[in-house]
Structure 1
Amino acid sequence: MTTRSCPCGLPEAYEACCGRFHSGAAAAPTAERLMRSRYCAFVRRDGAYLLRTWHPRTRPERLELDPRMRWTGLEILETGDGSAFHTAGTVTFRASYRGGSLHERSRFERVGGAWVYVDGEFLD
């Protein structure tokens, strides 16, 4: 039996990587790990996780994921703060999908000790 690496780009299997965050068994320890787990949630169409990890002040009431969207890879380009010692951080990334890519600098904050996505700025 072959174990595939997690869609977030790290070498661990999904269950040991982002799967534990998606299930609620663990919380992402850094802004980058939250970013990776959120990308993985888009790949797996886990809208509940995306909403749960969105900052309450910027979270939409609902989220509709396009079932035709095929995410193909994640590249982390830069991180700013966002470690266990910070209360805020940024992650600049490129997420590829069939037919293009999304380049964004996302902002994250801690709420109740847990990292959450605040918003993002699209980059060229």
Structure 2
Amino acid sequence: MILKQKDEGMKGRLMINLDSLVINVVTNVIIISPFLWISGRALVGKEKARFSDAVLTVMLGTIIGALFGIYFFGFTASIVQLILWLALIKHFFECGWLQALAISILAVIIFALVAIALGLIGFSLIVYL
């Protein structure tokens, strides 16, 4: 009986982690994809930067980043995830490493400007800033 409870507890924790991963993927796709797409279109053009590419980049970046987060910790995890995201942007938007970095930086700037504008008109985005 005790072993069964422990097994059920492990399954429950695994399901919670999978649930949180799914929620994290959906949330990131909704929030990050439009900004990544807009910055990609601005820097590499609309032929190379499609919205589906931005969605795939965010989905894969979130899932693979979560898997790498198991094995890497602290500053090393940050560097690995930065390289991962840049590689995904480079692959899906068909650009170089510096353009991928520029797309990432521009996406963050656009997100910050939209968050500030929404804050000024009364929407609170404290969670994301």
- TM-score band w.r.t. shorter chain: under 0.3
More strand per residue: 1 or 2?
1
TM-score normalised by L of structure 1: 0.25
More helix by share: 2
- Considering only CA atoms, is the larger Rg found in Structure 1 or Structure 2? 2
Task: State the TM-score, normalized to the length of structure 2.
Answer: 0.24
